[in-house]
Copies of this chain bind each other. A is one copy, B any other.
């Protein structure tokens, strides 16, 4: 059982709530990169970028392996699964499937009316 599932979701959603961190994740989906490479395009100081990576690490979205003086980061997308399933519960609502379901039910009712008429 997952008692602190909520905390995980807190961390993941929080991590995703900053454009710099989403950018980092996107770049890591291509390849492993070290901090300098990650920080380079981020219009902020190196320590600031380093902190963002740390936030992603705490959310378990990034793993780090130290090779010499280089800290290589790689994506771990697993926690995104939890976030996705949470959101997924609302898919029907934004896709308007309820209306579509209504249409299907109307169709079924129409068919039953048709059969009833034929059976007469």
A residues apposed to B, CB below 8 Å: 6, 9-10, 13-14, 16-19, 22, 25, 29, 75, 77-78, 80-81, 83-84, 86-91, 93-95
For A88, what are the chain B residues with a Cβ–Cβ distance below 8 Å?
Answer: 84
Report the Cα distance A29→B98, complex, angstroms. 12
What are 22 A-B contacts defined by CB distance under 8 Å? Answer: A6-B22, A9-B17, A9-B22, A10-B18, A10-B19, A13-B13, A13-B14, A13-B17, A14-B14, A16-B86, A22-B86, A29-B90, A29-B93, A75-B90, A77-B90, A77-B91, A80-B87, A80-B90, A83-B87, A84-B84, A84-B87, A84-B91
CA A24 to CA B86, docked complex, whole Å: 14
Interchain CA distance A101-B91 in the complex, whole Å: 27
> Which of chain B's residues have a CB closer than 8 A to the CB of A10?
17-19
